[in-house]
């Protein structure tokens, strides 16, 4: 080009035009995103309600909340706080200054959303999904709708184990919130939390799905939480977590917080789980759960190597309850469950939920690995009752180990609830040893070593000696009537 100056001006002009177009395009994209959130709020808000609960305090003075498992919570001793509004776990409940102590009342506030029952709408009645802890011991429940109407509500049913409750009001014209499919949620998806934090009605916050399938948090008995960074605060409990299609994909339940407020980590019950339990509460007033009758534990890499299978290939059966559905179906201790109802088995919490939601009396299929071979087993699901709860939990997880043992005499067998000739008892655990580090305690009964029954101390020593070159030992132990596998390495 004859005039390079003109060329430079043209290039700068084109670059400037490109930057302006890019800026305009970015702003337009943000504008459309904002409109999407506004559309979700407009669509979902009429179904979200404000809940206020009144009740008598359980004692004249409420001190600081003490977790049922002491201070050992999954996040370094931090309490996963519930959302009780004025009645936060580490504060005294609300007191009316002019009333005597006997007449004092607690006031809690939270959220909920209208649910369309599986059996169809009931004229003159609206069902509301919320948290069980919100309405526990309530003397009076008041519900305020987005249109300003207020109603007294009554509890249709509660399930404290999952923290799901349904309440009902005598009202027409309250739109139910459409339900999504929480099993299809992916990490990174946009979600919207709607509720009443600190009593500020119909507040909307936006974030993403941070994780799915969160279990073993110690919040509920049945856990499979959605984790989100959408801001959730006291008063949001029971409110919906909504996707961009305006569908509820979860119910907000708990936060991890040092201050009692938002810190970027919130948890919601997946709507598939919450709705299934809610419909049972509406239809029957109680929840009936399925039951297998097995103690299960995570298949750690050490355990997987001991059984000669791939890590995370399934869930290990540590114990089969006598006369249980599992026993009648022929499941064995040491089987690894790899599929249930045609779906692969992964996390223990999710498997436990799947079993609990399976209708009792129904016939289902389990696929297990036994001695390296896949076996398909038909099983009739039983009904879980309180006396069978132990068979549903995860066996305590193994760490590592090392010890001294003694043959079980009749006297020792009676002392430790064992049978003579079936196992050896740990009589000493050396501090700092493999056994101590694994958590083995005096009084633990070792039933098997490397899947071989041990009847005497000599049997045990023989198996340990034979395993010395592998530097690995698989134990089946019994402590406090609970059996579990422990894989030792040294």
Backbone angles phi, psi at 170, to 5 degrees: -90, 90
Q: Look at residues 253, 245, 293, 255 and name the one whose alpha carbon lies nearest to residue 277.
A: 253
Which H or E run includes 412? helix 410-415
265 neighbors 93 (Cβ within 8 angstroms): no
Identify the active-site residue in 47, 111, 132, 133.
Answer: 133
Backbone angles phi, psi at 451, to 5 degrees: 65, 20
For residue 312, the tally of other CB atoms under 10 A from its CB is 13
Q: Look at residues 301, 309, 394 and name the one whose alpha carbon lies nearest to residue 355.
A: 394
Active site residue 306: no
Could you give the CA distance from residue 23 to residue 21 in angstroms, rounded to a whole number?
5
Could you give the CA distance from residue 477 to residue 454 in angstroms, rounded to a whole number?
11
Identify the active-site residue in 163, 224, 229, 302.
Answer: 163
Active site residue 237: yes
Q: Look at residues 151, 483, 182, 147 and name the one whose alpha carbon lies nearest to residue 332.
A: 483
Could you give the CA distance from residue 134 to residue 94 in angstroms, rounded to a whole number?
15
> How far, CA to CA in Å, does 136 sit from each of 139, 166, 197, 355, 364?
9, 12, 19, 26, 35
317 neighbors 337 (Cβ within 8 angstroms): yes
Active site residue 163: yes
Per DSSP, the chain holds a count of helices (H) and strands (E) of 9, 27
Identify the active-site residue in 47, 162, 237, 324.
Answer: 237
Q: Which residues are catalytic?
A: 133, 163, 237
């Amino acid at each position: 080009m004859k005039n390079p100056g003109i060329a430079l001006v043209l290039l700068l002009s084109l670059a400037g035009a490109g930057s302006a177009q890019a800026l305009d395009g970015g702003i337009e994209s943000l504008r459309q995103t904002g409109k999407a959130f506004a559309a979700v709020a407009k669509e979902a808000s009429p179904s979200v309600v404000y809940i206020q609960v009144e009740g008598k305090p359980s004692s004249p003075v409420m001190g600081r909340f003490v977790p049922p498992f002491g201070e050992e919570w999954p996040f370094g001793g931090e309490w996963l706080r519930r959302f009780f509004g004025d009645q936060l776990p580490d504060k005294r409940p609300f007191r009316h200054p002019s009333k005597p102590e006997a007449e004092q009342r607690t006031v809690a506030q939270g959220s909920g959303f209208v649910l369309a029952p599986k059996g169809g709408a009931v004229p003159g009645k609206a069902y509301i999904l919320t948290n069980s802890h919100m309405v526990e011991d309530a003397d009076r429940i008041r519900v305020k709708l987005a249109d300003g109407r207020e109603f007294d509500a009554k509890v249709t049913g509660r399930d404290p184990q999952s923290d799901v409750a349904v309440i009902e009001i005598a009202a027409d014209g309250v739109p139910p919130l459409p339900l999504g499919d929480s099993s299809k949620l992916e990490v990174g998806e946009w979600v919207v939390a709607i509720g009443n934090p600190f009593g500020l009605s119909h507040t909307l916050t936006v974030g993403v799905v941070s994780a799915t399938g969160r279990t073993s948090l110690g919040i509920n008995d049945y856990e499979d939480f959605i984790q989100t960074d959408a801001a959730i605060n006291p008063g949001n409990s029971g409110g919906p977590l909504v996707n961009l299609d305006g569908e509820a994909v979860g119910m907000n339940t708990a936060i991890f917080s040092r201050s009692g407020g938002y810190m970027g980590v919130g948890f919601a019950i997946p709507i598939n789980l919450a709705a299934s339990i809610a419909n049972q509460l509406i239809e029957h007033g109680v929840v009936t759960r399925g039951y297998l009758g097995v103690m299960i534990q995570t298949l750690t890499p050490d355990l997987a190597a001991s059984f000669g299978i791939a890590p995370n290939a399934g869930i290990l059966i540590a114990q089969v309850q006598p006369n249980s559905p599992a026993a009648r179906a022929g499941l064995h201790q040491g089987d690894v469950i790899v599929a249930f109802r045609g779906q692969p088995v992964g996390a223990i919490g999710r498997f436990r939920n799947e079993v609990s939601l399976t209708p009792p009396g129904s016939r289902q299929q389990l696929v297990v690995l036994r001695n390296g071979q896949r076996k398909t087993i038909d099983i009739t699901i039983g009904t879980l009752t309180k006396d069978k709860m132990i068979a549903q939990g995860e066996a305590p997880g193994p760490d590592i180990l090392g010890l001294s043992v003694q043959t079980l005499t009749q006297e020792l067998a009676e002392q430790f609830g064992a049978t003579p000739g079936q196992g050896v008892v740990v009589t000493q655990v050396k501090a700092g040893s493999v056994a101590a580090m694994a958590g083995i305690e005096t009084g633990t009964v070792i039933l098997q070593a490397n899947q071989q029954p041990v009847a005497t101390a000599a049997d045990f020593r023989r198996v340990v000696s034979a395993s010395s070159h592998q530097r690995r030992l698989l134990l089946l132990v019994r402590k406090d009537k609970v059996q579990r596998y422990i894989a030792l390495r040294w």
